[in-house]
Each structure stands twice: as structure tokens, then as C-alpha cells.
């Protein structure tokens, strides 16, 4: 991955309103790979005091979005299949890491895992994108 594109991704995630709402930070990005982080806060709990699936989905989707667009070609989600394994502890830091499984001219698939700061598995996801074949608007 070119350094200019890497820097552009870091800048864009900082500016993204949705990522800011959840406190999501981009930690790593490379060709077909991304790692993001957020802290699990009380405002991310569901009715039962556990992590809301939408909060975990937000973290997973940020890793997916950045990894799938890391080649500089605009990619949009087609399918995401998430398995919620455990609820994180309040205040814990969560990381989602996306790794490319396959890449073709038109599609790509990703394996995404969420872990807490003790290494516990929180969620897993398999995701598929459609690669539109045009350059990223900020690249």
C-alpha cells in the first residue's frame, strides 16, 4: 500500500462522523487488511446491560470498510454475516481486525474478528464486497 493512501485513510477515518460517534480509531491499514479500535462505553449497552449488537457491528463495519477499500478501488458491502460470541466488559477496549480471504476484479471477501483487551473473542464476521472498478474519491 502506498504511504500517501495510508495517510489518506487515517485522515478520513478521523473526519468520519460515524466513526467519531463511536470513538473508532484506525490503528493499522495495508493491502486487504485493517485494524480498528473503540472503547466499550455505557452508552453502547442494550436493554439488558450487554453490548448492543449495533455498536459491535459499527466497529466490524469500519474494519471491513477500510480493508476492502485499501487497494484504492471503491468497494461497497454486499453481505455481512456476524456471530456474536460474548459481551465485552464495561470500559474494555475492543479491536476489530479484517483480513482479506479472496480478491477478484469484481468481489472480495473478508474474515473479521473482534477481540477485547484481554484477548477474548467477542464476535466474528464473514463479509463480501462488490468492487466498483473506480478509484476512491480521496485517493
pLDDT tens sequence across 7-51: 999 999 999 999 999 999 999 999 999 999 999 999 999 999 999
Domain around 85:
3-135
Beta partners for 52? none
- Tell me the DSSP string of 72-96: SEEEEEEEEEEEE--PPPTT-EEEE
Question: What's the CATH code of the domain at 17?
Answer: 3.10.129.10
Q: Decide if 126 contacts 82 (C-beta within 8 A).
A: no
E strand spans, 23-120: 25-30, 33-39, 73-84, 93-103, 107-116
The model carries a pTM of 0.96
SS3 of residue 14 by DSSP = helix
Domain tally for the chain? 1
pLDDT, tens only, 76-133 = 999 999 999 999 999 999 999 999 999 999 999 999 999 999 999 999 999 999 999 9
pLDDT, tens only, 50-74 = 999 999 999 999 999 999 999 999 9
Amino acid at each position: 500500500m502506498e504511504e500517501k493512501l495510508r495517510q489518506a485513510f487515517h485522515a478520513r477515518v478521523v473526519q468520519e462522523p460515524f466513526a467519531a460517534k463511536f470513538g473508532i480509531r484506525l490503528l493499522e491499514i495495508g493491502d486487504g487488511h485493517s485494524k480498528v479500535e473503540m472503547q466499550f462505553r455505557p452508552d453502547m449497552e442494550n436493554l439488558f446491560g450487554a453490548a448492543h449488537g449495533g455498536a459491535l457491528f459499527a466497529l466490524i463495519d469500519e474494519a471491513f470498510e477500510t480493508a476492502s477499500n485499501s487497494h484504492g478501488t471503491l468497494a461497497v458491502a454486499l453481505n455481512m454475516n456476524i456471530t456474536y460470541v460474548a459481551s465485552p466488559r464495561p470500559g474494555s477496549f475492543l479491536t476489530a481486525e479484517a483480513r482479506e480471504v479472496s480478491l477478484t476484479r469484481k468481489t472480495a471477501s473478508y474474515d473479521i474478528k473482534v477481540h477485547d483487551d484481554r484477548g477474548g473473542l467477542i464476535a466474528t464476521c464473514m463479509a463480501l464486497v462488490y468492487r466498483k472498478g473506480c478509484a476512491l474519491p480521496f485517493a
